[in-house]
A and B are shown apart, each in its own frame.
Chain A
Amino acid sequence: MSMSSLAIQTNEINLEYVEQVKKRQRMKNLLKGVLFLLPSIILFSAFVFYPMIRTIYLSFFLTNTSGVTTVFVGLENYINLFKSPIFLKNIQSTFLFVLYTVPATVIISLFLAIIASEKLKGIGFFRTIFSSTMGISVAAASVFWMFLFNPTMGLLNQLLKSIGVEPIGWLTDPNWALLSVSVTTIWMNIGFTFLVLLGGLQSINSYLYESADIEGAGYFYKLRRITIPMLSPTLFFAITVSIINAFQTFGQIDILTQGGPQNETNLIVYSIYREAFVNYQFGSASAQAVVLFIMILFLTAIQFKLGERKVHYQ
């Protein structure tokens, strides 16, 4: 037996030992990770996963008014959905709504966050105003806008009248309704998005700006080269959350248009609500919920794939 073989042997023992330690370490890490996550996981299981599984289950059945399953119909609920011109239109409206609201909300909020991040006197006042819409509940905000859109007393039409333009049926004209609801939604979401982006702006290291100043960089150069890249994790977060929220818009639809005119604003979540709460078709409502879930899941997955790579972490 030569020296070298002995060395190999001890090496093997060492490796095994290291492997064992690593394994134990991994177990310990897993345990720790789970421990940190446990409270969330328990609550999610009870209040998110369980209802989700139940929803999937219900989507294969017809139900009575109490939501008890009566007839197993297999995929019929899904087939009916995709054969229904109304549901297909709902999907289209939902995507349009996301398209109308998300980019506008993020861009306006970003603009507001940038002008409000300057160190000026009284800036706190402006920041409160800009974030104020976040503090206004969907119910209250919808009531405000319902009045603004009112064809008779509403300020918008009165304004149009005063400049001699025909009044617009903001919520009754199929060409306008979805836009009107979108404007309301953008207004409501600005507050929160603004706050998140402002927080992101302020945690950018001021040293970066100082060195840029020394090099004599202009305002817009700094904006493009420092602010936006450094803000990317926050922007990524804001966009993801905005999209998910837009897909789940409900309250303003219920109060402003109830899905009308001609199902133009019948977004999927509102349609689910009606199907369950008004029509008591829990099977079909569940099928819609599953379709919506898959759609959002798919989109978010793409977003994470494309987005996370571009996002710059310090």
Chain B
Amino acid sequence: MTMSFRKKIIFYVLLSVSALILFAPTIMAVVMSLMTSQDILTGSAPSRLILDNFIQTFEHFPLLQFLLNSFIVSIVITIGQILLSSLAAYAFVFLEFKGREFLFYLFIATMMVPFEASVIPNFHTIRDIGWIDTYQGLTIPFFATAFGAFLLRQNFKQIPKELREASQIAGMGHFKFYLTVVMPVAKSSLVTLGIYGFLTSWNMYLWPLLSTTNDSVRTVQIGLKQLQSQEQLNQWGVMMAGAVIVIIPTLILLFLGQKKLQKGLTEGALK
């Protein structure tokens, strides 16, 4: 189906205007990260562009190591979440057993426990099993996510029941069905969950701050916080530079994820 020229123009205008409004704060941050603090403080347009803010950011804390730590933590959490949520969602959709509804609502209820309220008891747990300053301590508490199970359940429900029946006739067990049919079919949701899991882990602050006491496994958000001064004038340029460095990897991931999503959909396993 091809669109009329007029319709195309309308869509492009809508898309461009929305994109501009939505992206304006980010563009502002990028521009500010290249400005001198004099220009920023006097509220004028940039008189010249500089890279000093970025250099200062790199000097301020072990940025590369923090970035690497963030990558490790985020990827491990993402994999853990995809695995555990898809297993749980499968049980909620394809397995019939007593108490299934109850368990599902119990899962959903875990989303309602405010993280800030449970963070101190959890910190005590980590402390008692000796996971402070370890990757386990940073990742494992986040493997189970009701959000993921919920997201995938909504998606798995869209898979026709006939497919399961057919597989049963073919003598396929649950685990095989899960691995060879459900997972590939739900690919786009898995990617969505993966992106979500990665980004939320990438953006965590309070937990990594509490569960680490030194720089060895610290993540980049804590570095970002260290750029903000207490009892001192904010160096906006440096703060923005730090923010830009931290969001570049996530934007790249979103772009790639977008392509993956796209591809997965055109391959169209189930149409």
- Answer whether A and B touch in the complex at a CB cut-off of 8 Å: yes
Q: Which of A40, A48, A153 has the most CB of B within 10 A?
A: A40
Known A152-B43, A155-B28: A206·B271 in contact at CB below 8 Å = yes
Contact A144 B26 (CB under 8 A): yes
Of B48-56, B58-66, B164-172, B246-254, which binds chain A? B246-254
Say yes or no: is A176 at the interface (Cβ < 8 Å to chain B).
no
Contact A129 B22 (CB under 8 A): yes
Known A140-B246, A203-B188, A272-B114: A128·B43 in contact at CB below 8 Å = no
Say yes or no: is B221 at the interface (Cβ < 8 Å to chain A).
yes
Of A10-18, A81-89, A258-266, A290-298, which binds chain B? A290-298
Of A30-38, A71-79, A99-107, A167-175, which binds chain B? A30-38
Q: With A and B bound together, what is the CA distance between A314 and B163 in angstroms?
A: 13
Known A36-B95, A147-B32: A205·B15 in contact at CB below 8 Å = no
Contact A135 B95 (CB under 8 A): no
Q: With A and B bound together, what is the CA distance between A155 and B45 in angstroms?
A: 11
Q: With A and B bound together, what is the CA distance between A190 and B23 in angstroms?
A: 11
Contact A276 B120 (CB under 8 A): yes
Residue of A nearest to B148 (CB): A40
Say yes or no: is A116 at the interface (Cβ < 8 Å to chain B).
yes
Q: Which of B19, B84, B192, B236 contacts A147 (CB 8 A)?
A: B236
Contact B247 A136 (CB under 8 A): yes
> Closest approach, in angstroms, between the C-beta of A170 and any C-beta of chain B?
14
Say yes or no: is A256 at the interface (Cβ < 8 Å to chain B).
no
Say yes or no: is B6 at the interface (Cβ < 8 Å to chain A).
no
B86-127 interface with A by 8 A CB criterion: 87-88, 90-91, 95-100, 103, 105, 107-118, 120-122, 125
Known A48-B118, A54-B121: A237·B150 in contact at CB below 8 Å = yes
Contact B114 A269 (CB under 8 A): yes
Say yes or no: is A221 at the interface (Cβ < 8 Å to chain B).
no
Say yes or no: is A95 at the interface (Cβ < 8 Å to chain B).
no
Contact B271 A139 (CB under 8 A): no
Say yes or no: is A134 at the interface (Cβ < 8 Å to chain B).
yes
Q: With A and B bound together, what is the CA distance between A241 and B112 in angstroms?
A: 10
Residue of A nearest to B158 (CB): A314
Say yes or no: is B212 at the interface (Cβ < 8 Å to chain A).
no
Which residues of chain A come closer than 8 Å to B176, judged between CB atoms? none
Known A47-B122, A47-B125: A293·B19 in contact at CB below 8 Å = no
Say yes or no: is A202 at the interface (Cβ < 8 Å to chain B).
yes
> Closest approach, in angstroms, between the C-beta of A48 and any C-beta of chain B?
4
Q: With A and B bound together, what is the CA distance between A49 and B106 in angstroms?
A: 10
Contact A48 B113 (CB under 8 A): yes
Contact A52 B113 (CB under 8 A): yes
Q: B217-257 interface mask toward A, CB cutoff 8 Å, 1 = contact, 0 = none?
A: 00001001100100000001001100100110011011100
Say yes or no: is B40 at the interface (Cβ < 8 Å to chain A).
yes
Contact A51 B18 (CB under 8 A): no
Contact B87 A37 (CB under 8 A): yes
> Closest approach, in angstroms, between the C-beta of B76 and any C-beta of chain A?
14
> Closest approach, in angstroms, between the C-beta of A49 and any C-beta of chain B?
8
Contact B117 A286 (CB under 8 A): yes
Q: With A and B bound together, what is the CA distance between A132 and B18 in angstroms?
A: 13
Say yes or no: is A229 at the interface (Cβ < 8 Å to chain B).
no
Which residues of chain B come closer than 8 Å to A115, judged between CB atoms? 11, 14-15, 18
Contact A153 B43 (CB under 8 A): yes
Residue of B nearest to A206 (CB): B271
Which residues of chain A come closer than 8 Å to B3, judged between CB atoms? 118, 120
Say yes or no: is B154 at the interface (Cβ < 8 Å to chain A).
yes
Contact A40 B84 (CB under 8 A): yes
Q: With A and B bound together, what is the CA distance between A141 and B24 in angstroms?
A: 12
> Closest approach, in angstroms, between the C-beta of A169 and any C-beta of chain B?
17
Which residues of chain A come closer than 8 Å to B240, judged between CB atoms? 143-144, 147
> Closest approach, in angstroms, between the C-beta of B132 and any C-beta of chain A?
15
Contact A293 B113 (CB under 8 A): yes
Contact A67 B120 (CB under 8 A): yes
Contact A244 B116 (CB under 8 A): no
Q: B186-217 interface mask toward A, CB cutoff 8 Å, 1 = contact, 0 = none?
A: 00110010011001001101000000000000
Q: A149-178 interface mask toward B, CB cutoff 8 Å, 1 = contact, 0 = none?
A: 000110100100000000000000000000
Which residues of chain B come closer than 8 Å to A180, judged between CB atoms? none
Say yes or no: is A130 at the interface (Cβ < 8 Å to chain B).
yes
Q: With A and B bound together, what is the CA distance between A135 and B90 in angstroms?
A: 28
Say yes or no: is B136 at the interface (Cβ < 8 Å to chain A).
no
Q: With A and B bound together, what is the CA distance between A129 and B15 in angstroms?
A: 10
> Closest approach, in angstroms, between the C-beta of A71 and any C-beta of chain B?
19
> Closest approach, in angstroms, between the C-beta of B225 and any C-beta of chain A?
7
Say yes or no: is A91 at the interface (Cβ < 8 Å to chain B).
no
**A–B Cβ pairs within 8 angstroms, 22 of them:** A29-B95, A50-B125, A51-B118, A54-B121, A126-B15, A132-B254, A135-B250, A135-B253, A137-B202, A138-B203, A140-B243, A147-B32, A195-B192, A199-B192, A203-B265, A233-B158, A251-B205, A269-B114, A272-B117, A276-B120, A288-B117, A313-B158
Closest 8 CB pairs of A and B: A135-B250, A289-B117, A51-B118, A137-B203, A43-B144, A36-B91, A51-B121, A140-B243
